[in-house]
Structure formats: C-alpha cells, structure tokens
C-alpha cells in the first residue's frame, strides 16, 4: 500500500512538470491573426509592441527555469481583460495555476497604470485642440466642444474596509470612474479612485480637470459637455431642464447628440475589455489599477484604428445598468453659476437662433 502511494506521488509530480511544457502553448503559434485578435483584442505586431513598452516592469529579475516570458504574461492579462472570466479559467488556457494568473494580472495592470498620463492626456497643442473642436462640430453643430464628460460605475467585490461608501445608488459595490473623451472616442482624462457612493459632480470638483478649467488663462480652448447631473459652468455646458423655446430645444438636441460620444466611448471600452462590464473580484486598489490599464489599452486600440470586436452591435445602446444620469446636483451647484447661464444663453443666441 505504501509503495502504491509513493508511486502515485512520483507520477503526480512528473505529470505536473510535463504539464508546464505541454499546456503552456504560445498563442502566437496556436491562433491565426483573426482568432488572435478576437481573443486578445490586438493584432500580432501590436502585442509585440505593447510588450516592449512594459517588458522591463514585468520580466523576472532572475532568469528562472520555466519562468513565463513577458509576452506570455501580457497575453494572460489581455485574455482576462477581454473576458473578465475567473482566474482559474484563464489559467487553464495557459497551463498555469490561478495564483500565478493573479500575480500576472497585478504586474501587468500596475505596469500600464503607471503610464496612464503618457496615454491619457488633453488635446495639446492648440492645433490638436482645434481639430477636436472641428470634429465635434461636424457631429451635431455644437460649437467649441473639446470633450464630453460622464461617470461610469465598475462593479467590485464588497471591500473589507469602509464597505458602505462603495455602495452606489443601485445597491451594488462599485468604483465611480470619471471619463472625458474626444470626438474619436479616445479618453483624454480619467479619474479612477472614487467609491460608488460619491456623486459625479463631486468627483469633477475634486479632479485636476476642474482646476485646469477654473484657472485663467485656461490651458486649452473649448468647453466640455456634461449631463444635468453636473454644475453649469462657463466651460461646462449642461442641457436646459425645461426648454421653453425652439432655440433651447435645438440646443438640447445638439447637446444630446454630441454628448452621446462619451456614452459610446464607455460602451466601446466595456465591450473591448469585458472585465469592466462584469464584476472585478478584487479590492479597490487592485480594481482601480485594472481599470486604468484597460483605459490605456483602450486608447492604444483606438489610436491604432482597431475595430470594435463586437462591431455588429450598436455602441450607443450598450448602456450599463450601473450607469445613468445623476439628475440631482449636489447642494451649492444647483442652477449653476451666473457666468455659466450667460455663456449658455450666448451659445443659444449665436448658434441656435434660426
């Protein structure tokens, strides 16, 4: 009996060693270009280039035998971002255990998140801002728009600390993420550190973009468009809550059509990286790093002109049940500042008085 147990133990160890080499297949060798893109959201040369960007951050300091090379680590993380499936499922694909998958996701997410400001930035110089304004104007004739702003919720596990502050108005635990996009669905500003209970307008008020636009002279020309949950500012246009004239109705129609760009951006982001559409089963700091990594990768994909992996569906109809307009403005912001109301009336008089 003892000999049989020893034999089974030796056999199990041998099979485990064999599995490392048998199952850890390189997806580059397994999939053709179409399948590779469907599963990892990037083309073959794009994955190589992404690996070059973060290679030094994720490579093993010691060249251990059997260590997973950086490009394979990247593909493990990309597969998780693209599907949001359990770590065990990702591990089965690559022939590694779920603990290793967890470490890899953390390493890759951290490597991309620290580069957030390299890939997520406001349109500068002036020529770039002017091009953005022109593209937005072509959508629905709304003038001088340099970006559209909104918040989106990413569901997480209930944290062990300060659990209550992460409960959003839907009763779920989430991170409330502020996004600003340009006319090409590229994210030009994001804030990823607020719990789900925090109001959109407060996140804006505490953000760097608020300070930039409140400071004169402003760093870039143009205005932002936001929904009725935001305060009306000279640089932040919100719709009329009760338009009494046709001019104001035309303003609202153009505003809505133009602002839908941010809704479409959020839809594309969460369809490309489905882990953001499901629940991130991590604590808030790790979840935030994953969100930032997906934001960086979204911008890379959009800059490369890669198609939406689910292009047969309508992006504008990809609403998340966690999202929606915060119609009630926090105390102190209701009705907006006088300068904001005057600026909005000037836009109506100049561009929508027909």
Burial class (CB within 10 angstroms; exposed 0-12, middle 13-18, buried 19+) of 55 = middle
pLDDT at 283 > cutoff 70:
yes
Cα–Cα distance for residue pair 283/159, rounded to 1 Å: 6
Query: Does residue 58 contact residue 108 with C-beta atoms inside 8 Å?
Result: yes
pLDDT at 18 > cutoff 70:
no
**Phi/psi of residue 150, nearest 5 degrees:** -165, 165
Angle (CA) 229-230-234 rounded to 5° is 150
pLDDT at 110 > cutoff 90:
yes
User: Are 206 and 99 found together in one domain?
Assistant: no
User: Are 238 and 315 found together in one domain?
Assistant: yes
| 339 belongs to a structural domain | yes
Looking up tokens 């303003």 gives 251
- The domain total for the chain is 2
| 31 belongs to a structural domain | yes
| 124 belongs to a structural domain | no
Distance (Å) of CA 108 to CA 50, 56, 59, 76, 236: 11, 11, 10, 9, 35
Share of the chain above pLDDT 70, in %: 84
User: Are 109 and 62 found together in one domain?
Assistant: yes
pTM: 0.88
Average pLDDT over all residues of the chain: 88
Q: What is the mean pLDDT of residues 165-186?
A: 98
**Complete DSSP assignment for 180-226:** EE-TTS-EEEEEEEEETTS-HHHHHHTSHHHHHHHSSS-SSSSEEE-
Range of the domain at 146: 130-351
User: Are 241 and 183 found together in one domain?
Assistant: yes
């Amino acid at each position: 009996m003892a000999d049989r147990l020893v034999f089974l133990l030796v056999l199990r160890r041998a099979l485990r060693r064999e599995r490392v080499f048998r199952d850890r297949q390189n997806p580059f060798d397994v999939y053709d270009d179409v399948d590779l893109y469907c599963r990892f959201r990037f083309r073959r040369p794009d994955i190589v280039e992404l690996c070059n960007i973060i290679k030094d951050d994720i490579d093993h300091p010691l060249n251990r035998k059997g260590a997973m090379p950086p490009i394979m680590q990247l593909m493990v993380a990309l597969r998780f971002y693209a599907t949001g499936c359990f770590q065990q499922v990702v591990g089965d694909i690559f022939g590694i255990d779920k603990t290793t998958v967890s470490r890899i996701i953390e390493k890759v997410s951290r490597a991309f998140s620290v580069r957030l400001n390299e890939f997520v930035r406001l349109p500068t110089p002036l020529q770039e801002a002017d091009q953005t304004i022109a593209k937005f104007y072509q959508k629905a004739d709304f003038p001088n728009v340099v970006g559209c702003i909104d918040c989106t919720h990413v569901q997480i596990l209930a944290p062990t600390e300060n659990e209550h502050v992460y409960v959003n108005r839907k009763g779920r635990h989430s991170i409330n993420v502020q996004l600003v996009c340009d006319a090409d669905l590229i994210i030009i500003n994001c804030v990823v550190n607020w719990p789900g209970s925090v109001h959109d307008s407060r996140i804006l008020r505490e953000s760097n973009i608020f300070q930039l636009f409140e400071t004169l002279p402003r760093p870039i020309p143009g205005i932002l468009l936001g929904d009725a949950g935001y305060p009306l500012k000279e640089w932040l246009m919100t719709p009329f809550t009760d338009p009494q004239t046709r001019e104001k109705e035309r303003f609202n129609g153009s505003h809505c059509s133009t602002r839908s760009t941010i809704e479409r951006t959020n839809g594309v982001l969460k369809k490309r990286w489905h882990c953001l559409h499901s629940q991130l089963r991590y604590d808030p700091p790790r979840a935030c790093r994953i969100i930032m990594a997906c934001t960086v990768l979204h911008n890379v994909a959009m800059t490369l002109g890669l198609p939406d992996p689910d292009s047969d569906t309508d992006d504008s109809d990809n609403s998340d049940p966690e999202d929606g307009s915060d119609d009630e403005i926090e105390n102190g912001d209701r009705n907006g500042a006088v300068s904001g109301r005057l600026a909005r009336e000037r836009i109506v008089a100049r561009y929508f008085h027909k």
